[in-house]
Amino acid sequence: MAVFVLDRRGKPLMPCTEKRARLLLARGRARVHRVMPFVIRLTDRKADACSFQPLRVKLDPGSRVTGIALVREADDGIAVLNLFELVHRGRQISEALTARRAFRRRRRGANLRYRAPRFLNRSKPEGWLAPSLMHRVHTTMAWVNRIRRLAPVAALSSELIRFDMQALENPEVSGVGYQQGTLAGYEVREYLLEKWNRTCIYCDATDRPLQVEHLTARARNGSNRIGNLGLACGGCNQEKGSLNVREYVKDPKRLARILAAASRPLKDAAAVNATRRALADALRATGLPLELASGGRTKFNRVTHGIPKTHALDAVCAGCVNAVRDWQRPSLTIAATGRGSYQRTRLTRYGFPRGYLMRQKQVQGFQTGDHVRADVPHGKRAGVHTGRVAVRATGSFNIQTATAVVQGISHRHCTLIQRGDGYAYLQPKDSFRQEDAGDGRASHAALSLPGMNPGFLAQSDDFEIDFQGI
């Protein structure tokens, strides 16, 4: 991954390679500004006389995960600099609002039995979206603006709609014409490929052409509704014939999984459709040139250039793409966690309050969500633990590492790496890799910074960094 670079006044410069960042830090010409994503700040340069190459931020909006890519544009194509996958928490917000509404109704019903109903005294503004949907727009725009503060971004690209191939064939198509065109059902097939992860629901095959399968066969009055459709390879489709899915599938676990996935509502598709216009308006409000494209164009670019399907690489392929270089990069996963909760009590299994949560956010200088490193010298938890911390009033913390939760870590053993910002980061294992060895493969190595003063230390499976300060 490319390393973000700021000048001595905090203005963004062109990102550099890991090797160059290592040299700048080792020679004392830069210091660490931020750990996740990794940012350095120069101590001897200003951005006044610098010329920048055109950079573009590309987006692939999704219901659960939004792909973000920072690319450098050139005459012969684009070069990928950084890849991100932003994990939303819209479902958690919806569930929290539902629980809060239930508590409020129970409280009012228990204490104010004869209170007059008041459910029509609040009007919603034009273009209002539910908080769980607006969260997707806000978090995406937050990271677009953050990348703009870390790199000289000159343009934006985003996927606006999925597929409207019939409109390309016939611009006058409307109404029932969408059901009778030459490409009728294309939207359904593409949605089924996404829903079933491009695998046969009966044998899990992925390396062969897949056919649309009726779970309840048409010969038994099965409908064409999306809940009755699946994907099957040619062999499984022929073998099943007119049997019902309950008759054909003998494994009860597989059958339960198929039926559960088939009855899954179209919430994800509805969420993307509801927020796409709001996101496009927010991107236009930045004042940067905005390129909007369809999902069909994204898939065409991805298949043409032989790029595998991930959320971040879909963002790379959004819009007009002539050629792509350096796309074999790891992507940084960013999970939205929020900054806490207004809830002041825990609840019993029946929904009644139990105890009270502490009111102060910080304990011994640490706050829930901070990224820390704990060096435990002895005991059952002896070792080095790095991750997000959950504070307790007693000073005994929990640390969420990449593999498990380590409980009962004293605050005396903890060292702050980075303050919590409402997001959790999962650094890919092959980040901070050495330059290409010449055979197309990047070798892993620890990022050692000789000559630097010891400070904060961030450690993962593949690299180790001594930070002078954040």
pLDDT digits (tens, 9 = 90+) for 110-131: 766 666 666 777 788 888 888 9
Share above pLDDT 90 across residues of the chain, in percent, rounded to a whole number: 37
User: Do 391 and 440 sit in the same domain of this protein?
Assistant: no
- Residue 221 clears pLDDT 90, i.e. is over it: no
In a domain, 27, yes or no: yes
Q: What is residue 62's DSSP assignment?
A: -
In a domain, 67, yes or no: no
Measure the CA dihedral 454/460/464/470, to 10°.
-40
- Average the pLDDT over 145-169 and give the result: 77
User: Do 391 and 410 sit in the same domain of this protein?
Assistant: yes
User: Do 45 and 27 sit in the same domain of this protein?
Assistant: yes
- CATH value at residue 377: 2.30.30
In a domain, 57, yes or no: no
In a domain, 396, yes or no: yes
> How many Cα atoms sit within 13 Å of 23 on the Cβ side?
5
In a domain, 44, yes or no: yes
User: Do 406 and 383 sit in the same domain of this protein?
Assistant: yes
Question: What is the Cα–Cα distance from 104 to 109, expressed in whole angstroms?
Answer: 8
User: Do 363 and 406 sit in the same domain of this protein?
Assistant: yes
In a domain, 43, yes or no: yes
In a domain, 28, yes or no: yes
- What tens digit of pLDDT does each residue of 274-294 get? 888 899 999 999 999 999 988
Per DSSP bridges, beta strands 324-325 and 77-87 are parallel
Q: How many CB atoms lie within 10 A of CB 430?
A: 16
User: Do 411 and 440 sit in the same domain of this protein?
Assistant: no
Q: Give the mean pLDDT of the chain.
A: 80
User: Do 407 and 438 sit in the same domain of this protein?
Assistant: no
Q: What is the pLDDT of residue 207?
A: 79
- What tens digit of pLDDT does each residue of 28-78 get? 999 999 998 999 999 987 766 667 889 999 999 988 899 999 999 988 889
Q: What is the pLDDT of residue 324?
A: 92
In a domain, 372, yes or no: yes
Tokens 């990794």 label which residue?
A: 38
User: Do 365 and 382 sit in the same domain of this protein?
Assistant: yes
Q: Please give the span between the terminal C-alpha atoms of the chain, in angstroms, as a whole number.
A: 20
- Residue 174 clears pLDDT 80, i.e. is over it: no
Q: Domain range for residue 462?
A: 3-52+429-467
Lowest mean pLDDT: which of 107-116, 418-427, 448-457?
A: 448-457
Number of domains in the chain: 2
Where does the pLDDT of residue 213 fall: very low under 50, low under 70, confident under 90, or very high at 90 and above? confident
